């Protein structure tokens, strides 16, 4: 889903502004902000970022922007005590989809997989009915972030 041509630049500007604000919100300099307020702000920013990403094409998201987005979103989803995990993973899934990653289904493990490469990392996303795993690798390190879904 793309934005109207006359709104395209406006959507990209909103995406960049929200990303900058999310980076500020997750920085250690703002650790004195009350936790509930910080989580609420992060959730709202992640939601807006996800919608803006959805309205962009792969050409709109440069590899450098993809790295900034994933690094900021990873800080949100790494905080397992946060109430914003779903919004963070929502934006990550939107970015993975826009970056022309096709989700492949593995019958043996009942898992969907997607990956894309940005300027610094190889991002891999795996999803089952019970969990979502995000792995990212660079030339110097490897990390995994895991989220389990609760059934209501």
Q: How does pLDDT run across 70-88, given as a tens digit for each residue? A: 889 888 887 767 778 788 8
Could you give the strand order of the β-sheet that contains 142-148, starting from the edge strand earlier in sequence?
A: 104-106, 111-117, 122-127, 131-137, 142-148
For 127-144, what is each residue's pLDDT tens digit?
666 666 777 676 676 666
The residue written with tokens 């972030």 in the block is 145
pTM: 0.73
Q: In a 3-state reduction of DSSP, which class is residue 13?
A: helix
Are 39 and 83 in contact by the 8 Å Cβ rule? The answer is yes
């Amino acid at each position: 889903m793309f934005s109207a041509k006359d709104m395209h630049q406006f959507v990209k500007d909103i995406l960049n502004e929200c990303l900058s604000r999310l980076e500020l919100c997750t920085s250690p300099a703002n650790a004195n902000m009350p936790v509930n307020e910080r989580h609420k702000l992060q959730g709202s920013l992640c939601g807006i970022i996800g919608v803006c990403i959805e309205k962009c094409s792969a050409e709109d998201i440069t590899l450098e922007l993809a790295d900034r987005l994933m690094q900021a979103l990873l800080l949100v989803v790494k905080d397992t005590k946060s109430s914003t995990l779903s919004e963070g993973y929502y934006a990550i899934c939107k970015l993975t989809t826009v970056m022309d990653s096709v989700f492949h289904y593995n019958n043996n493990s009942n898992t969907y997989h997607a990956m894309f490469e940005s300027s610094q990392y190889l991002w891999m996303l795996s999803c089952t009915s019970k969990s979502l795993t995000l792995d990212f690798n660079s030339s110097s390190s490897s990390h995994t972030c895991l989220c389990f879904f609760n059934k209501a």
